[in-house]
Structure 1
Amino acid sequence: MLDLVPKDFAGGERIDWAAAEAALGTRLPSDYRAVLDTYGVGSIGDLVILPPLPSDLPGWEECHMGSSTAGIRDLWDACGGVPGVPLGADAVLPWGTGMNCNEMAWLMDGPDPDTWPVVAWRRQHAWGEPPWALFDCGMAEFITRMMLGRFDDCPLGDASLWKRTGTFVSWREQERRLLAGLDPQTGEPCPYAHMFPVTRD
């Protein structure tokens, strides 16, 4: 993924990983840490990569792992999780959201976070399929395989990053674009930019 997604609009944040892991009560996968160290905090297309701690950017304070954990664990309980997986909701830790209400997480099935598989809740899943699915790969590999079309089918209920390379845009750059009347993802003129909540001094 680091060689696939351009870094032109990286945010430049430096995350205190010791503080983040202490707050979450667990170590975090090395590929996730590498992605945030490289790109900062932001989104790849409509895929929001959750930071481990609250952002200092106004309007984004509540978008982080801690604030998203209860909701995704409720979805695990409500839908019965992945068929055949006996672990409970407390083993699910979110890392991604968005893409027309799809949710992505790790299944913390062992002490080594680098071996945790990805689980995804697909709001728009095929008829007869369970909403939860497990993918035997890490977060960066999941995103890479999705963009390169290296799953049998689109792994999510949204195909906006299926077989196409997304562009990372930091939350800071998204806010700058909105203030300039531009689409936060594409940077093109957007007549609706004034409708988005942003901080204006």
Structure 2
Amino acid sequence: MNLTKIKDKIKHSPIWKRRIHSWMFSNARPRLWVKWLVNPFVFHHGKKAVIRRQTVMNVSPINRFHLGTHSTIEEYTIVDNGVGDVIIGDYTRIGLRCTIIGPVQIGNHVILAQNVAISGLNHRYEDPTLPIHQQGVTTALIQIGDDSWVGANSVITAGIKIGKHVVVGAGSVVTKDIPDYSIAVGNPARIIKKYDSTINEWILAK
């Protein structure tokens, strides 16, 4: 049985999930033996990839973590793959004090400015007789396409797909997918410009 099949079996067993989580984590953070003895052998870091010293890496082998070639994660950012893979492409820069909670896929040549929050996790809340933290979570993959730029203090919500060469204005809250070659701003974010390849210009969205 290969490692992938073992992971799948554990994920579908609530008892084993609790046991493994307790063994590998303390207060939602990987134990030191996981960080120093396991992670270096299972996570991929591309050539000249940089993770700054003050970055908080809440990552473990439970899910994948990949940082591409020449990519950088700046100081005080939090990366958490506890509920889903975190995949970051090549030549991508994750700015200061960002939060990235999987499942998240970020493409190549992407720029995240400071204080961007990207979370593929949501807490369940439907049962009013239970505290929200006792109701579990749901996850939905967030995808950010190649060559995109997400402005400072923006929020990308679970399940969103941002296309290629997209600009998200500072302070935006993205609650709907954004197609390729678009500029979106606001809360909730709306598309204000699109690139027209027939005239090679950015035009106002109708």
TM-score normalized by the length of structure 1? 0.25
Q: Which structure shows the higher strand fraction?
A: 2
Bigger Rg over Cα: 2
Q: Which structure shows the higher helix fraction?
A: 1
* Higher-RCO chain (CA-CA 8 Å, sequence separation at least 6): 1
